[in-house]
């Protein structure tokens, strides 16, 4: 990388050629204030907070957009610069409502921080007090135009990160407002509720309805973890207060999603209305009664010991952690010699020997084939990357026999029997990317395999931890029919659908590990209550095969335990000794087995 040498505040600094003054300064710990800039967005130099003095330049320049050059001399806090920044702040404060005590964002506000930094102790200019409306039509967020500084971060996030282009700037001059779909109420706009704008807003203009006024950052705790809503495995940051989850935010530093989340990951987990199971339940006669863990586990061990391995079945959903899947296999396959061990939903067969790409890689591709996969509804964050790549000039070839929500973005739509045409077109491209899913199989996949020497491939798994379940041998045609005793690990999934229950014989003894009440838990002989996403520890493996940590954000409700903890105790009850001594040991064992999977 070509480096240039410059001086910032009298200090010699080396920075890569093409980097901005802001980036060069930040890298050596010189803090230049910003407002409209965000590391994940294209800089636009709109707010003028980052203005600096560059020797030889006629005017002050914006550090966020100005590229460094050899021998450049920069001053970031000279009297001229500070005077300009104060003027910018005074002008910002002279419009709309920036009265802190009644604002949701007071204490978490970038404008407020800047006011403090530059000692704004009164407002020089009389404020323009034109009143703007509040748009509270959205289910999860409200848009308070009176608090808006028009930095455009929300708009750029909507376009560049979610690639949804719902938000835009409307009107002119001091009447300018952020608006949805050319002045449509937010709640009835094309917004996909990903909340990227919420996470980007520097002031109190966009706020989360659910957690508004529930505590500023200094009063909350933050835990990084991994989303468990689909197989993308987005990095999340969970904000909690007094053992309550306030908000879920995208982790800007996460490699997989770079801060993006979808409605399902950001908002849905906080609107859960199902009833939790908080204590172990054991059926006596026709009634389930609360029991101690000892009682529940010993009853389960007795049930499992009362029949031979051939009469036992064990099934899991893909919600389970790597650790739980590893132990489930250990207990049932190795200890109890059960062969009828499997998972509820299938996995996408991953073609062997093909280079695996990440969602970020898609942004560098020129042709994307989406085959048998509909990320818009199933893995929305993946769809943001597809749509962004299309915005950046990539062409999308959609291969599917079903209706697919990516269709409006595709330049070509083909049936699955025409997949070799797609492969031929992509073969002409410089860097094709193949995104495929459960909708294609055998022959169709082999047609794509010929792109192996130049394309990157990503199989989007249908379930959260399907990759790990598949790697640990759970994708083998489990059938509940032959089981006299069935162990079902369903975690948070709501198996209210007929298919699991339908296959279970009325006489089958049923042990269910679950977080929420469902027809399956009501039918069970023993119910082992499990933690939900915010309470559990462990790890998950995403569609790329990336093993990511799940961290506990709040203490578990009642007597519930993590899925692997329940299985570890069950193993101990069955064999007399615990299978592992610590979570770390277990995680390592599970990870070794998952990543050693032959692809």
Partner 1 sequence: MAKVKIATDWLGGCAGCHMSVLDIDERIIGLLDAVEFTSSPVTDLKHPPKDGVTVGILEGAICNTRNIEVAKMMRERCQILVALGNCATFGNIPAMRNLVGTGEALKRAYVETESVVDGLIPASPELGIPVERVTGVDKVVKVDVFIPGCPPSADAIYFAFTELLAGRIPEFPPEYFKYD
Q: Minimum Å distance from CB 96 to partner 1?
A: 9
* 363 closest CA partner among 512, 161, 498: 161
DSSP-assigned letter for residue 20: B
Give least dist CB 26 to partner 1, A: 21
**Listed ranges 109-117, 169-177, 204-212, 266-274: which one lies at the site for partner 1 (CB under 8 A):** 109-117
Pattern of binders to partner 1 over 146-185, x per CB under 8 A? x---------------------------------------
Residue 121 or 506: which CB sits closer to partner 1? 121
Q: Does 101 bind partner 1 (CB under 8 A)?
A: yes
In the 8-state DSSP scheme, what is residue 416?
A: G
CA dihedral 93, 99, 101, 102 (to 10 degrees): -130
Q: CB within 8 A of 479, min separation 6: which ones? A: 313, 340, 342, 503
Q: Least distance (Å) from partner 1 to the CB of residue 116? A: 6
Closest CB to partner 1 among 120 and 191?
120
H-helix or E-strand containing 170?
strand 167-170
Nearer to partner 1, 10 or 119 (CB): 119
Site string for partner 1, 42-81 (x = CB under 8 A): ----------------------------------------
Q: Which of 69, 99, 169, 310 binds partner 1 (CB under 8 A)?
A: 99
Give the whole-angstrom CA distance, residue 529 versus residue 69: 62
Q: How far is the CB of 11 from partner 1 (least distance, A)?
A: 24
Which range of residues in 48-56, 110-118, 233-241, 480-488 is near partner 1 by CB under 8 A? Answer: 110-118
Q: Which among 94-102, 184-192, 238-246, 366-374 is the span making contact with partner 1, rule CB under 8 A?
A: 94-102
CB atoms within 10 A of CB 154: 24
C-beta closer to partner 1: residue 14 or 129? 129
Distance between CA atoms of residues 545 and 211, nearest Å = 34
Chosen residue from 97, 108, 184, 335 binding partner 1 by CB under 8 A: 97
The dihedral formed by the CA atoms of 138, 142, 148 and 151, expressed in degrees to the nearest 10:
-50
CB 208, CB 522: distance < 8 Å = no
Shortest separation between residue 124's beta carbon and partner 1, angstroms: 9
DSSP 57: -
Nearer to partner 1, 87 or 100 (CB): 100
Task: Mark the segment that binds partner 1 (CB under 8 A) among 36-44, 101-109, 311-319, 359-367.
Answer: 101-109
Task: Name the minimum Å distance from CB 102 to partner 1.
Answer: 6
Closer residue to partner 1 (CB): 205 or 438: 205
Shortest Cβ 109–partner 1 spacing (Å): 9
| From candidates 1, 56, 58, 102, binder to partner 1 by CB under 8 A | 102
Long-range contacts of 107-115 (CB under 8 A, 24+ apart): 107/216, 107/217, 107/218, 108/216, 108/217, 109/202, 109/203, 109/204, 110/35, 110/202, 110/203, 111/35, 111/149, 111/202, 111/203, 114/33, 114/35, 114/49, 114/85, 114/89, 115/89
Which residue has tokens 């939900």? 532
- Which residue in 528, 479, 527, 486 sits closest to 508, CA to CA? 486
| Shortest distance in whole angstroms from residue 380 CB to partner 1 | 37
- Beta strands 3-8 and 11-16 are antiparallel
Of 112 and 466, nearer to partner 1 (C-beta) is 112
Q: Please give, one letter per residue, the 3-state secondary structure of 173-228.
A: HHHCEEEECCCECHHHCCCCCCCHHHHHCCCCCEEECCCCCCCCHHHCEEEEEECC
DSSP state of 390: H
CB of residue 51 to partner 1, shortest distance in Å? 23
Tokens matching residue 77: 């806090």
How many residues sit in the footprint of partner 1 (CB under 8 A)?
A: 19
| Three-state helix/strand/coil letters over 235-254 | EEEEEEECCEEEEEEECCCC
According to CB under 8 A, which one of 7, 106, 176, 345 is a site residue for partner 1?
106
Q: Least distance in Å: CB of 134 to partner 1?
A: 11
Containing 435, the helix (H) or strand (E) segment is strand 432-436
In the complex with partner 1, which residue's Cβ is closer, 145 or 266? 145
Q: How far apart are CA 60 and CA 126, in angstroms?
A: 26
Stretch that binds partner 1, among 100-108, 222-230, 406-414, 490-498 (CB under 8 A): 100-108
CA dihedral 76, 81, 85, 86 (to 10 degrees): 130
- Kindly state the smallest distance separating residue 90's Cβ from partner 1, in Å: 12
| Closer Cβ to partner 1, 115 or 579, answer by number | 115
Task: Please select the residue that binds partner 1; options are 100, 356, 392, 583, rule is CB under 8 A.
Answer: 100
Residue 495: CB minimum distance to partner 1, A: 48
CA dihedral of 9, 12, 17, 22, whole degrees rounded to 10: -30
The first and second tokens of residue 71, run together, are: 């021998």
Toward partner 1, which CB reaches closer, 91 or 255? Answer: 91
Q: Shortest distance, CB of residue 131 to partner 1, whole angstroms?
A: 4
Place of tokens 């031929």: 424
Residue 79 or 352: the one with the smaller Cβ distance to partner 1 is: 79
Shortest Å, Cβ 146 to partner 1: 7
Six-digit token string for 192: 């996909």
String of contacts with partner 1 for each residue 112-141, x by CB under 8 A: x--xx--x-xxx--xx-x-x----------
Task: Name the site residues for partner 1 (rule: CB under 8 A).
Answer: 97, 99-102, 106-107, 112, 115-116, 119, 121-123, 126-127, 129, 131, 146
């Amino acid at each position: 990388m070509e480096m240039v040498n410059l001086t910032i505040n009298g200090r010699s600094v080396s920075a890569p050629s093409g980097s901005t003054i802001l980036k060069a300064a930040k890298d050596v710990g010189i803090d230049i204030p910003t407002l409209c800039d965000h590391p994940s967005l294209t800089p636009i130099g709109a707010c003028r907070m980052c203005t600096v003095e560059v020797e030889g330049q006629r005017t002050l320049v914006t550090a966020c957009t100005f590229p460094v050059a050899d021998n450049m001399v920069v001053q970031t806090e000279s009297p001229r610069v500070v005077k300009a920044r104060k003027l910018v702040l005074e002008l910002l404060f002279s419009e709309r409502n920036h009265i802190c005590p009644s604002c949701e964002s007071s204490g978490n506000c970038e404008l407020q921080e800047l006011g403090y930094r530059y000692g704004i102790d009164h407002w020089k200019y009389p404020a323009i007090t034109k009143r703007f409306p509040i748009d509270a039509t959205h289910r999860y967020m409200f848009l308070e135009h009176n608090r808006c500084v028009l930095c455009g971060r929300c708009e750029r996030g909507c376009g560049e990160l979610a690639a949804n282009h719902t938000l835009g700037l409307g009107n002119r001059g001091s009447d300018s407002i952020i608006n949805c779909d050319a002045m449509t109420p937010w709640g009835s706009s094309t917004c996909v509720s990903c909340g990227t704008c919420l996470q980007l807003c520097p002031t109190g203009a966009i706020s989360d309805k659910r957690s508004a006024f529930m505590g500023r950052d200094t009063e909350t705790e933050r835990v990084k973890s991994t989303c468990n809503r689909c197989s993308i495995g987005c990095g999340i940051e969970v904000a909690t207060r007094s053992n309550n989850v306030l908000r879920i935010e995208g982790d800007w530093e996460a490699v997989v999603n770079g801060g993006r989340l979808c409605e399902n990951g950001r908002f849905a987990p906080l609107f859960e209305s199902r009833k939790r199971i908080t204590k172990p339940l054991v059926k006596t006669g026709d009634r389930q009664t609360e029991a101690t863990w000892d009682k529940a586990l010993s009853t389960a061990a007795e049930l499992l010991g009362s029949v031979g391995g051939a009469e036992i079945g064990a099934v899991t959903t893909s919600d389970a952690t790597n650790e739980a899947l590893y132990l489930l296999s250990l207990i049932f396959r190795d200890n109890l010699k059960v062969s009828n061990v499997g998972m509820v939903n299938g996995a996408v067969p991953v073609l062997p020997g093909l280079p695996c790409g990440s969602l970020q890689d898609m942004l560098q591709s020129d042709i994307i084939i989406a085959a048998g996969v509909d990320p818009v509804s199933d893995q929305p964050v993946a769809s943001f990357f597809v749509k962004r790549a299309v915005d950046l000039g990539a062409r999308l070839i959609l291969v599917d026999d079903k209706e697919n929500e990516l269709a409006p973005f595709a330049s070509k739509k083909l049936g699955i029997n025409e997949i070799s045409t797609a492969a031929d077109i992509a073969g002409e491209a410089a860097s094709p990317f193949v995104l495929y899913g459960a909708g294609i199989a055998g022959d169709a996949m082999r047609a794509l395999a010929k792109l192996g020497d130049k394309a990157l491939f990503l199989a989007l798994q249908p379930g959260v931890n399907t990759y790990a379940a598949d790697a640990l041998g759970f994708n083998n045609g489990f059938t509940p029919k032959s089981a006299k005793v069935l162990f079902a690990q369903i975690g948070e999934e709501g198996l209210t659908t007929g298919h699991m229950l339908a296959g279970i014989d009325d006489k089958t003894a049923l042990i269910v590990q679950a977080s929420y009440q469902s027809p399956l838990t009501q039918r069970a002989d023993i119910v082992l209550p499990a933690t939900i996403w915010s309470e559990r520890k462990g790890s998950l493996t995403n569609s790329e095969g990336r093993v990511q940590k799940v961290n506990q954000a709040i203490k578990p409700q009642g007597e519930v335990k993590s899925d692997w903890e329940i299985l570890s105790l069950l193993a101990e009850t069955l064999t007399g000794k615990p299978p592992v001594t610590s979570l770390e040991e277990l995680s390592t064992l599970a990870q070794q087995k998952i990543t050693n999977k032959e692809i």
